[in-house]
Amino acid sequence: AQSVTQLDSQVPVFEEAPVELRCNYSSSVSVYLFWYVQYPNQGLQLLLKYLSGSTLVESINGFEAEFNKSQTSFHLRKPSVHISDTAEYFCAVLYNTDKLIFGTGTRLQVFP
């Protein structure tokens, strides 16, 4: 069955520290990968995506994620977080261009 796993439901971190949010998915021939961010009381916004090409993708606010086909992972990283990065982050996988499946989310809490 198709599934997306975010093992960490909460990640507390101090400001300016590095962070990694983990995402693993069940293997399939064709997958497109996404990270969405949800700020309090808002909808989901696309943070970054992997459709094809370079396996390392970056967002405009310093996040990056790497598609690792052999490990079926798409972990999200940032070398130095800010208070404003506090939000919930969802990994999502589009299987066979049809079915978009979300992980259960990781709440990133950045402390001063």
List of residues contacting other proteins (CB under 8 A): 6, 9, 32, 34, 36, 42-46, 49, 51, 90, 92, 94, 97-105
Which residue's CB is nearer to other proteins, number 51 or number 56?
51
Long-range contacts of 85-90 (CB under 8 A, 24+ apart): 85/19, 85/61, 85/110, 86/110, 87/37, 87/38, 87/39, 87/40, 88/37, 88/38, 89/21, 89/35, 89/36, 89/37, 89/38, 89/47, 90/6, 90/35, 90/36, 90/37, 90/38, 90/44
Nearest distance from residue 65's CB to other proteins, in Å? 14
Which residue's CB is nearer to other proteins, number 46 or number 56?
46
